[in-house]
Amino acid sequence: MAQQKKKWRAPVQKNDQLEGEVVDLTHEGLGVVKVDQYPLFVEGALTGETIQYKVIKTGKKFGFGRLEKVIEASPNRVDIVDKVYAQTGTMSLQHLTYDAQLAFKKEQVEKVLTKIAKLPDVKVNDVIGMDNPYGYRNKAQVPVRKIDGRLTTGFFRKNSHDLIPLEDFVIQDPKIDEAIVKVRDIMRRYHVKPYDEIDHKGWLRHIIVRRGYYTQQLMLVLVTTTSDFHRQDEIIEAIKKELPELVSIIQNINSEKTNVILGDESTVLFGTDAYQDQLLGFTFTISHQSFYQVNPLQTEKLYQTAVEYAGLTGEETVIDAYSGIGTMTLALAKEAKHVYGMEIVEPAVKNAKENAELNGVTNVSFETGPAEDIIVAWAKEGRHVDTIVVDPPRKGLASEFIEAVLTMKPQKMIYVSCNPSTLARDLKLLNEGGYDVKRVQPIDMFPQTTHVETVCLLTRK
């Protein structure tokens, strides 16, 4: 009779109270404690600490623990601003000194270059940080719900849709926080019904505020379930009175049962669907649907790095894939012969064309559509390009995009990434296809969080 295979059991069980040393941090900033080589992830714990923790979940490969007590603290530990920011996940590294946050982010980029890209010898520069790593976000998307019978704004508890009331987000521009509270109070005064996602009733789903760092212009977007707007004129007048910097009020209608914030239909209630800000001496018009980097000071450093790495002489033809409203396109155009922007979001392309005209930049063209489709078609046509700049979403580059780059054979490629893992995956393919990774510069666009932006220079071998 065949021997029955013994059922595997984790070396720890749920509700076990344990002590251990934290040996590492995950890319999500969770402390790693090991029991017989079985890893447990503990939020709020730091490398080198001795902690007491409770096992809350076990799986086949790893488990999770809850931090009960720090027995021996890391020298990099600082007092947290408030535990609410850990509960919402908006400041997952608030317990770590800022210098240590930058070192952690550099290490994350180094790890993926070694493990995923198989490029252990590529040097990663120190992360470019901020002098003041708070109050930097120029955009807030705040859910609206009913708490204790009142319309309330705040943020969802991590991995849930339970709203935690919040007025001060700490990493957002303080003027944006103030604006949200003022709009909330007006909505309360006029007895506006907040959205209830369980029975899909109520009217106001989200309040979105965007603010120009240099212009101080405010845009307000009210996301509602229907196009009806009870006492619209009175509410709009009250908001304008409270927020004199306001240049645009948009009503966006989202009637779907969905986690997606914006719907497809919008109405301009005041001003136009645009506000303006400046970057590197250029003025940009931004619509409510257009992507615009949320940290203006660090965005300037990001674009300066990308332009420096491109090393343009005025003779080059450049592609700026995922060009958005043309922010990086215009910065590149200052140094290039011609820059072609590619963007899938139509309102962003419209903004990009307006921004080129607004700034008197004539050596740019913008294409509407998925960057991978356009570049594949151009590669088949045999178009010549000297430099390609990419700033893709978190999922990175499509495989057909990479194939098209390898067909076009540009001399240089600048890869701007918001996700080190997909960056490393793509760098491996580009390296195998004939490109050397010459420079890697991480930039801290999102202080107090685990996210890091990276600029890479690749050149043809």
434-453 pLDDT, tens digit each: 999 999 999 999 999 999 99
- Domains of the chain, residue spans: 17-77, 102-131+295-460, 139-278
Q: Half-sphere exposure of 39 toward its Cβ, with a 13 Å CA cutoff?
A: 11
Question: What residues of the chain score a pLDDT lower than 70?
Answer: 1-6
Give the pLDDT of residue 3.
Answer: 56
Q: State yes or no: is 456 an active-site residue.
A: no
Give the pLDDT of residue 184.
Answer: 98
Give the pLDDT of residue 237.
Answer: 98
CA distance 218 to 373: 35
Q: For the domain made up of 102-131+295-460, give the CATH fold.
A: Rossmann fold (3.40.50)
Give the pLDDT of residue 70.
Answer: 97
CA distance 57 to 10: 11
pLDDT tens-digit map of 333-389: 999 999 999 999 999 999 999 999 999 999 999 999 999 999 999 999 999 999 999
Long-range contacts of 397-402 (CB under 8 A, 24+ apart): 397/372, 397/422, 397/426, 398/372, 399/429, 400/372, 400/376, 401/321, 401/371, 401/372, 401/375, 401/376, 402/426, 402/429, 402/430, 402/433
Rounded to 5 degrees, what angle do the CA atoms 80, 86, 92 make?
85
Give the pLDDT of residue 1.
Answer: 46
- Concatenated DSSP letters for 23-78? EEE-TTS-EEEEETTEEEEEET--TT-EEEEEEEEE-SS-EEEEEEEEEE--TTB-
As assigned by CATH, the class of the 17-77 domain is mainly beta
- With b for 16 or more beta-carbon neighbours within 10 A and e for fewer, the 276-301 pattern comes to bbebeebebbbbbbbbbbbbbebbbb
- Concatenated DSSP letters for 397-440? --HHHHHHHHHH--SEEEEEES-HHHHHHHHHHHHHTTEEEEEE
Which of these is catalytic: 130, 249, 385, 418?
418
Is it true that 17-77 and 139-278 share their CATH fold? yes
Q: For the domain made up of 139-278, give the CATH fold.
A: OB fold (Dihydrolipoamide Acetyltransferase, E2P) (2.40.50)
- Per the document, the length of the chain is 461
Joined together, the tokens standing for residue 55 give 């096992």
Question: Which residues does residue 316 pair with via DSSP β-bridges, in sequence order?
Answer: none
Do the Cβ atoms of 263 and 226 come closer than 8 Å?
no
Do the Cβ atoms of 362 and 368 come closer than 8 Å?
no
pTM: 0.93
Rounded to 5 degrees, what angle do the CA atoms 422, 309, 284 make?
85
Do the Cβ atoms of 327 and 382 come closer than 8 Å?
no
The single-letter code of the amino acid at 176 is I
The single-letter code of the amino acid at 54 is K
Give the residue from 68, 33, 66, 73 showing the smallest Cα distance to 49.
73
Q: pLDDT over 70 for what percent of the chain?
A: 99
Q: Which residues contact 210 (CB under 8 A, 6 or more apart)?
A: 138, 139, 176, 218, 219, 221, 275, 286, 288, 292
